[in-house]
Amino acid sequence: MCGWAPLRGYPTGITCAPDPVCPQNEIFNICASNCEQTCVPMGRPCSINCLPPKCQCQPGFVRENGKCIDPKDCPNRRGSTTTTPSYEMKCNTKMQNKIPESFQ
C-alpha cells in the first residue's frame, strides 16, 4: 500500500506493504468514504473527502453490525422483511396519481 507511483528512473528505496486482507464482502479502499451504505439511512449529508485507508463494503453490500451484508438481508425494523438501504430514494407519494387539469 503506497497510494502513489514513483516517477520512472528515480529510485526511492521505499518498499510498499501489501494491502491488508479484508473480511468477507469487503475491499481495501485507499480513499475511504465516510458515506458507507448501511441498512438504516444516515440522515446526514456525506462529504466527498477521503478518509484514511481502510476496509469497506464491496459495491452491492451494506454495513450492518460491523459486517457487510446483502441489502436483502437487512433486519426487519418496520414490520417488513427488509429495510430500504440508505442509497435508495422513494418518490413523493403526494404527487402520485395526480393528473394535471390540462390533461383531463
Using CA atoms, how far apart are residues 19 and 36, in angstroms rounded to an integer?
A: 20
Average pLDDT over the chain reads 72
Domain membership of residue 50 as a residue range: 22-71+82-87
Name the grid cell of 76. Answer: 426487519
0.85 cut: is pTM over it? no
pLDDT in tens, 53-86: 999 999 999 999 999 999 999 987 654 444 344 4
Average pLDDT over residues 27-43: 87
Per-residue pLDDT band for 16 (boundaries 50, 70, 90) equals: confident
Per-residue pLDDT band for 52 (boundaries 50, 70, 90) equals: very high
DSSP labels, the chain: --SS-PPTT------PPPPPPPPTTEEEESSB-S---BSS---S----SPBSPEEEEPTT-EEETTEEE-GGGPPPSSSSSS---TT-----GGGTT---GGG-
Using CA atoms, how far apart are residues 35 and 17, in angstroms rounded to an integer?
A: 26
Question: Residue 91: what residue type?
Answer: C
Q: 40 lies in a domain?
A: yes
Q: 56 lies in a domain?
A: yes
Tell whether the model's pLDDT for residue 8 goes beyond 60: no
Q: 76 lies in a domain?
A: no
Tell whether the model's pLDDT for residue 92 goes beyond 50: no
Using CA atoms, how far apart are residues 39 and 3, in angstroms rounded to an integer?
A: 30
CATH number at residue 67: 2.10.25.10
